[in-house]
A and B are shown apart, each in its own frame.
Chain A
Amino acid sequence: MKEQTEKQADYDLFERVQNGDMVAFNDLVNKYKKRLMNVITRMVQSQEEAEDIVQETFVRVYQHRESFDFRHCFSTWLYTIALNLARNELRKRKRFKFYDIFDLKGNEAEIAVEMQVPTNLPQVLKRAIENLPEKYKTAFVLRDIEELPYDEVAKVMNIPLGTVKSRVNRARALLREKLKPRMEEYNALSKGTLLPVSLL
């Protein structure tokens, strides 16, 4: 019921956008920009690039506003555009790999420290999500972080529902495996166990 209302609200706003109402467009941007940013940041792992992609997504939405099919969900359309742009960006990166020597210097040590300190769990989890294979990561982020229903994830990714479920399950299992040792340390710490001497 809540979903239906939200869907209808999106349609109403988008109809106003189609009629040239920029206030409605601004409302849509405010409603979706954070959600998109959450997904895209986890895909491309760069704040600036993610912001550029989100901006480009809204520009595309505006450019193609007349071709939107009202039989589909607006959010599905939006996520599909954003993910396609993110995928293009990742493909480009694969073709041209750029390394910053200063980044490389600091990064290794930084990651090592993050993984060593059990209290920094959200940071560790973030790293673990970033390191998931792309197909699992997309399904996981859409389902478990954005909390989209499975069928909508299937539409956004253009794959069967069963495949989505198995990819999400696989991503969760991988995360669980990666975080297992850190979680145990974290739990021990939170229960008052002393830190290992090496970390002090």
Chain B
Amino acid sequence: MRCRKVRSFLSAYSRGELSEAKRRAISAHLECCSDCRREEAGFREVYGALSKLPDADLSADFNSRLLNRIADERYRETRSKAYFPKQAPAIGMRRMVPVVATFCLMLAFVLTGGIERLLVPDDGYMVAQHDGIRGELDDSYLTVQPAASHTFSQHASKHWNFDRQVARANRVRGYMNQLASSNTFANNTNSWSTQGKIVLGRLGLGPATTYRPRPIIRTYIAPQTDAVKEVRQVY
């Protein structure tokens, strides 16, 4: 090894940081090179002086001052926020998105009628109201209207075409007739609370809802004109 290379390793050599092979090579060089030996001695002296360096002093009340500050810190923690150690959330925000979305959908489903709506036949208007809540029943579901007319009820059927409205009115009439002639109605005629009503059980979901069979009024309106040609017929 040449002197220049050896000198680059001398500080590490004097600290015993070199591998065995390098250490041997440098020892061999030092035995025959007085300049490098002097350099190496210089490094040793520096390390010797380093060990004599005095430790930095700390003031006697360092710990008490620090602990006072920590006490302040703890006080601030408990004052400024509810004192809970910070922890990673069990469920991250990303995972919460589908959960929240599902919850919102379920809430919307329940608020718009829920299972009750599903159990009722296609024509929602037939369900009418719970008995006793409203005295006057809305029979606009039986009204057939021209598409653009607002003169009659404001129910959704105003956007239906004529054929569809007639078909629905017939369907409703069929349901009502079926209900009127059913055994449920016949069996409950003597009870004062169910007299004149039909009780429908609903798969055990909440109290049974009572429906009142009512006379069906058929109303026909000519498709091309707004002129109303009514044929009222009571069943």
| B192 contacts A by Cβ under 8 Å | no
Q: Contacts A121-B49, A122-B49, A176-B46 hold; do A58 and B56 have CB atoms under 8 A apart?
A: no
With a cutoff of 8 Å between Cβ atoms, the chain A residues found around residue B66 in the complex are 29, 55, 58-59
| A117 contacts B by Cβ under 8 Å | no
With a cutoff of 8 Å between Cβ atoms, the chain B residues found around residue A163 in the complex are none
Min CB–CB distance A156 → chain B (angstroms): 18
With a cutoff of 8 Å between Cβ atoms, the chain A residues found around residue B39 in the complex are 176
Chain A contributes a number of interface residues (CB within 8 A of B) equal to 41
Q: Which A46-95 residues have a C-beta within 8 angstroms of B?
A: 47, 50-51, 54-55, 58-59, 62-63, 66-67
Min CB–CB distance B198 → chain A (angstroms): 65
Q: How far is the CA of A18 from the CA of B70 in the complex (A)?
A: 13
Q: How far is the CA of A37 from the CA of B63 in the complex (A)?
A: 13
**B-contacting 9-mer, from A8-16, A101-109, A179-187, A192-200:** A179-187
Task: Find out whether the CB atom of B58 lies under 8 angstroms from the CB atom of A59.
Answer: no
Q: Which A158-199 residues have a C-beta within 8 angstroms of B?
A: 165, 168-169, 172-173, 175-176, 179-180, 183, 187
Min CB–CB distance B82 → chain A (angstroms): 15
Q: Contacts A55-B69, A63-B73, A176-B42 hold; do A41 and B56 have CB atoms under 8 A apart?
A: yes
With a cutoff of 8 Å between Cβ atoms, the chain A residues found around residue B52 in the complex are 121-122
Chain B contributes a number of interface residues (CB within 8 A of A) equal to 31
Q: How far is the CA of A88 from the CA of B69 in the complex (A)?
A: 21
Task: Find out whether the CB atom of B11 lies under 8 angstroms from the CB atom of A172.
Answer: yes
Task: Find out whether the CB atom of A175 lies under 8 angstroms from the CB atom of B70.
Answer: no
Task: Find out whether the CB atom of A59 lies under 8 angstroms from the CB atom of B50.
Answer: no
Q: How far is the CA of A173 from the CA of B8 in the complex (A)?
A: 9
With a cutoff of 8 Å between Cβ atoms, the chain B residues found around residue A37 in the complex are 55-58
Min CB–CB distance B146 → chain A (angstroms): 71
Q: Chain B 61-92 against A: per-residue CB contact (8 Å), 1 yes, 0 no? A: 01101110110010000000000011100000
Interface of B is mostly: helix
| B135 contacts A by Cβ under 8 Å | no
| B211 contacts A by Cβ under 8 Å | no
Count A/B pairs, Cβ under 8 Å.
90
Contact pick for A22, options B55, B56, B70, CB 8 Å? B70
Task: Find out whether the CB atom of B85 lies under 8 angstroms from the CB atom of A66.
Answer: yes
| B43 contacts A by Cβ under 8 Å | yes
Q: Which chain A residue shows the least CB distance to B85?
A: A66
Contact pick for A47, options B57, B63, B69, CB 8 Å? B57
Q: How far is the CA of A58 from the CA of B49 in the complex (A)?
A: 31
Task: Find out whether the CB atom of B73 lies under 8 angstroms from the CB atom of A172.
Answer: no
Q: How far is the CA of A142 from the CA of B58 in the complex (A)?
A: 19
| B132 contacts A by Cβ under 8 Å | no
> Which of A30, A42, A169 has the most CB atoms of chain B within a 10 A radius of its CB?
A169
| A135 contacts B by Cβ under 8 Å | no
Q: How far is the CA of A33 from the CA of B86 in the complex (A)?
A: 27
Task: Find out whether the CB atom of A125 lies under 8 angstroms from the CB atom of B50.
Answer: yes
With a cutoff of 8 Å between Cβ atoms, the chain B residues found around residue A187 in the complex are 45
> Which of B15, B50, B66 has the most CB atoms of chain A within a 10 A radius of its CB?
B66
| A145 contacts B by Cβ under 8 Å | yes
Contact pick for B85, options A18, A34, A58, CB 8 Å? A18
| A26 contacts B by Cβ under 8 Å | yes
With a cutoff of 8 Å between Cβ atoms, the chain A residues found around residue B206 in the complex are none
Contact pick for A29, options B43, B46, B63, CB 8 Å? B63
**27 interchain pairs (CB within 8 A)?**
A22-B67, A30-B63, A33-B58, A33-B63, A34-B55, A34-B56, A37-B57, A38-B56, A40-B56, A47-B57, A55-B62, A55-B66, A59-B66, A59-B70, A59-B73, A62-B73, A67-B86, A122-B52, A122-B53, A125-B46, A125-B53, A144-B47, A145-B50, A145-B53, A173-B11, A176-B39, A176-B42
Taking beta carbons and an 8 Å cutoff, which residues of B are in contact with A? 8, 11-12, 15, 39, 42-43, 45-47, 49-50, 52-59, 62-63, 65-67, 69-70, 73, 85-87
